[in-house]
Amino acid sequence: MTLFGTLGTFSNATAAPEAAKPAQTDGFHLVIDALKLNGINTIYGVPGIPITDLGRLAQAAGIRVISFRHEQNAGNAAAIAGYITKKPGVCLTVSAPGFLNGLTALANATTNCFPMILISGSSEREIVDLQQGDYEEMDQLAIAKPLCKAAFRVLHAADIGIAVARAIRAAVSGRPGGVYLDLPAKLFSQVMEAEAGAASLVKVIDAAPAQIPAPSAIARALDVLKSAKKPLIILGKGAAYAQADDAVRALVEQSGIPYVPMSMAKGLLPDTHRLSAGAARSLVLKEADVVLLVGARLNWLLSHGKGKTWGEPGSKKFIQIDIEPKEMDSNIEIVAPVVGDIGSCVEALLAGMGANWQAPPAEWIAKIDAKKAENTGKMAAKLAKTKSPMDFHGALGALRDIIKARPDAMLVNEGANTLDLARGIIDMYQPRKRLDVGTWGIMGIGMGFAVAAAVETGKPVLAIEGDSAFGFSGMEVETICRYNLPVCIVVFNNNGIYRGTDVNTNGNGDVATTVFVRDARYDKMMEAFGGVGVNVTTPAELSHAVNVAMDSGRPTLINAVIDPSAGTESGNIGSLNPTSAISKA
Interface residues toward ligand TPP, by CB under 6 A: 415-418, 441-444, 466-469, 492, 494, 497-498, 567, 571
Across 341-381, where does the E strand assignment appear?
Answer: none
Contact, 116 vs 102, CB < 8 A? no
Q: How far is the CB of 440 from ligand TPP (least distance, A)?
A: 7
Question: Applying CB under 5 A, which part among 60-68, 462-470, 504-512, 519-527 lies near Mg ion?
Answer: 462-470
User: Among residues 64, 27, 51, 169, which one has the least CA distance to residue 120?
Assistant: 51
Minimum gap (Å) between residue 476 Cβ and Mg ion: 19
Residue 37: count other Cβ atoms within 10 Å of its Cβ: 16
Contact partner, 417, from ligand TPP, Mg ion, none, Cβ < 5-8 Å per class? ligand TPP
38 binds, among Mg ion, ligand TPP, none (CB under 5 to 8 A by kind): none
β 24-26/556-561 pair status: unpaired
Least separation, in Å, of the C-beta of 114 and ligand TPP?
17
- CA–CA distance, 427 with 413 (Å, rounded to integer): 13
Min dist. Cβ of residue 96 to ligand TPP (A)? 21
Q: What is the DSSP letter of 548?
A: H
Q: Which partner in ligand TPP, Mg ion, none is near 416 (CB below 5 to 8 A by kind)?
A: ligand TPP
Smallest separation, CB 497 to ligand TPP (Å): 4
* Residue 467 lies near Mg ion (rule: CB under 5 A): yes
Q: Does 494 bind Mg ion (CB under 5 A)?
A: yes
Non-local (6+) Cβ contacts of 122 within 8 A are 50, 95, 99, 128, 138, 140, 141, 153, 182, 183, 184, 185
The answer for residues whose C-beta is within 8 angstroms of residue 285's C-beta and 6 or more apart is 232, 260, 302, 309, 310, 311
Q: Which does 259 bind (CB under 5 to 8 A by kind): ligand TPP, Mg ion, none?
A: none
The count of other CB atoms within 10 Å of the CB of residue 508 is 5
Report CA Rg, the chain: 27
Chosen from Mg ion, ligand TPP, none, partner binding at 444 (C-beta under 5 to 8 Å by type): ligand TPP
Least distance between Mg ion and beta carbon 564 (Å) = 8
Minimum separation from the CB atom of position 546 to ligand TPP (A) = 18
Q: How far is the CB of 470 from ligand TPP (least distance, A)?
A: 7
- The answer to whether the CB of 409 falls within 8 A of the CB of 461 is yes
Which regions of 358-501 does DSSP assign to beta strands (E)? 410-414, 434-436, 461-466, 487-493
CB of 566 to ligand TPP, least distance (A): 8
> Closer to Mg ion at the Cβ: 122 or 494?
494
Give the full edge-to-edge strand order of the sheet including 532-536: 434-436, 410-414, 461-466, 487-493, 556-561, 532-536
Q: Which does 564 bind (CB under 5 to 8 A by kind): Mg ion, ligand TPP, none?
A: none
Q: Would you say 90 or 395 has its CB closer to ligand TPP?
A: 395
Q: How far is the CB of 62 from ligand TPP (least distance, A)?
A: 35
List, as own/partner pairs, every contact residues 364-369 make where C-beta atoms lie below 8 angstroms and the sequence separation is at least 24, other chains included: 364/229, 364/230, 364/231, 364/258, 365/256, 365/258, 367/283, 367/287, 368/258, 368/277, 368/280, 368/283, 368/284
Partner touching 73 among ligand TPP, Mg ion, none, CB below 5 to 8 Å by kind: none
331 or 572: whose CB is closer to Mg ion? Answer: 572
Nearer to ligand TPP, 59 or 501 (CB): 501
Q: Single out the segment in contact with Mg ion by CB under 5 A; choices: 83-91, 218-226, 492-500, 553-561.
A: 492-500
At 480 the three-state DSSP class reads: helix
Short-list 38, 76, 47, 117, CA closest to 455: 76
Distance, C-alpha 145 to centroid of its chain: 20
- Nearest residue (CB) to Mg ion, 391 versus 467: 467
Question: Cβ closer to Mg ion: 52 or 513?
Answer: 513
Comparison of 109 and 443: residue with beta carbon closer to Mg ion? 443
Stretch that binds Mg ion, among 30-38, 299-307, 467-475, 503-511 (CB under 5 A): 467-475
Toward ligand TPP, which CB reaches closer, 389 or 444? 444
* Residue 144 or 542 with smaller CB distance to Mg ion: 542
Instruction: Report in angstroms how near the CB of residue 571 gets to ligand TPP at its nearest.
Output: 5
Q: Does 466 bind Mg ion (CB under 5 A)?
A: yes
> CA-CA distance, 529 to 490, in Å (whole number)?
17
| Cα(364)–Cα(283) distance, integer angstroms | 11
Q: How many CA atoms lie within 13 A of 511 on its CB side?
A: 12
Nearest to 123 by CA among 137, 103, 141, 143: 137
Nearer residue to ligand TPP within complex by CB, 210 or 517:
517
Residue 122, H or E segment: strand 116-122
Residue nearest ligand TPP, CB atom distance: 466
Complex with ligand TPP: residue 24 or 579, whichever CB lies closer = 579
Strand order across the 317-322 sheet: 259-261, 231-235, 290-294, 317-322, 336-339
Interacting partner of 278 out of ligand TPP, Mg ion, none (Cβ under 5 to 8 A depending on kind): none
- Which chain residues interact with Mg ion by CB under 5 A? 466-467, 494
